[in-house]
Structure 1
Amino acid sequence: MVLSHSKTNKNRVKINLMGRVKNLHRVFESFKIIPLSLIQNAVKYRKCNDIEIVFDERDTKLDFSVVSYGDFISEEEIKSLFKRGYRTKKAESMNVEGSGLGLYALKVVAEAHEFQVTVRSEVLDT
């Protein structure tokens, strides 16, 4: 489902999964929306093919991160990413399907589960 987000995107994606999870956490089926939305956005807006997904389980805490290389997102735009229907200026100008609902749905589910979701964007040295 995640990798078939767009009929127009035929590129192969290399996804590196790292970490170990003991699967001791009880979550509702709706939890799946969180990693799926993050991975789907990473795939849709990446500039290179590699995406890194890391699971880090410590005691009762599970950290899940998705790292991809795409266009820089300003702090102002990051504040709006989880608003219903919001897409960054760059996303709107790209030829990529989207309605701005994926991250909004993610936020609703995360809040219902009392999970914390953060986004960070950095300019990399080239």
Structure 2
Amino acid sequence: IMAGTVVEECDRLLGIINTMLSISEAESGLTGLSCEEIDLMVLLRDVCDLFQPLAEDRSVSLVVDGPAALILRCDRHKLQRVFANLLDNAIKYTPENGRITLTAGGNEREVAITVADTGSGISEEDMPHLFERFFRGEKSRSEPGSGLGLSLAKALVTIHRGTVDAASDGKHGSRFTVTLPKTRD
């Protein structure tokens, strides 16, 4: 049993180290983007499909709302990681029978994707620190995690020349909005 625990802890630490490296590479500009034209709606549905079993285990419904297609030039794998991190957090903090909605839209210049949940919300005190490395809010202490997911999401969105913002009234859910330019120069 002890060896298994050591292996699990090593895997967890390796995951933290790899995430830290990804954040550092993104922030320093060392990581390159493999940009291609993608349909963002397909990417969002694919990410939701990956998380559907976890959502079902917690009796949380996942909904994707947006146009039939939303074409964007970006690094597919990095954006998958962004939305996987946001969805993972939303599922963790949404109670049974809750709902998570991914809503996408855009204009000729940019797209905006909002991940909204019916969870317990984020306190006013925690809001300024959400994207800091290793930050874990008061409500997150009972859930597993390293406090790196939002930091990585922000770094990956930033290298796409986009923004990610959080909003919550502290009691009734939260909304994370990712805004990305449609094309890269």
TM range (shorter): 0.7 to 0.9
Q: Does the aligned pair in 2 maintain the 1:15–1:52 contact within 8 Å?
A: yes
CA-CA distance at 1:3 after TM superposition: 4.7
Q: Which residue identity is paired with 1:38?
A: L
Alpha-carbon RMSD: 2.2
Question: Is it true that 1:80 corresponds to 2:129 in the alignment?
Answer: yes
**Helix, strand or coil for the counterpart of 1:27?**
strand
Q: Which has the larger radius of gyration?
A: 2
Match of 2:162 in 1: 115
Cα deviation digits, residues 77-104 of structure 1 (max 9, x gap): 1111111111101111x2x211111111
Q: Is the 8 A contact 2:105 2:113 kept in 1?
A: yes
Kindly indicate which of the two structures has a greater share of residues assigned to helix: 2
State the match for 1:44 in structure 2: 92
In structure 2, what is the equivalent of residue 34 of structure 1?
82
The alpha carbon displacement at 1:13 in A equals 2.3
Q: 1:110: Cα distance to partner?
A: 1.3
Q: What SS does the corresponding residue of 1:118 show, helix, strand or coil?
A: strand
Match of 1:19 in 2: 66
**Are the aligned partners of 2:52 and 2:62 in contact in 1 as well (CA < 8 Å)?**
no
How far apart are the structure 2 equivalents of 1:59 and 1:53? 20
Q: Flag structure 1 segments of 5+ consecutive residues without an equivalent.
A: none
Mapped contact 1:3–1:40 kept (Cα < 8 A) = no
Calculate the TM-score normalised by the size of structure 2.
Answer: 0.58
Gaps of 5+ in 2: 1-49, 173-185
**How many percent of aligned residue pairs carry the same amino acid?**
25
Q: Is the 8 A contact 1:54 1:65 kept in 2?
A: yes
CA contact (8 A) 2:60 2:94 kept: no
- Number of equivalences: 120
Looking at structure 2, the residues matched to 2 and 79 of structure 1 have their Cα atoms a distance apart, in angstroms, of 28
Q: Distance in 2 between matches of 1:63 and 1:21?
A: 15
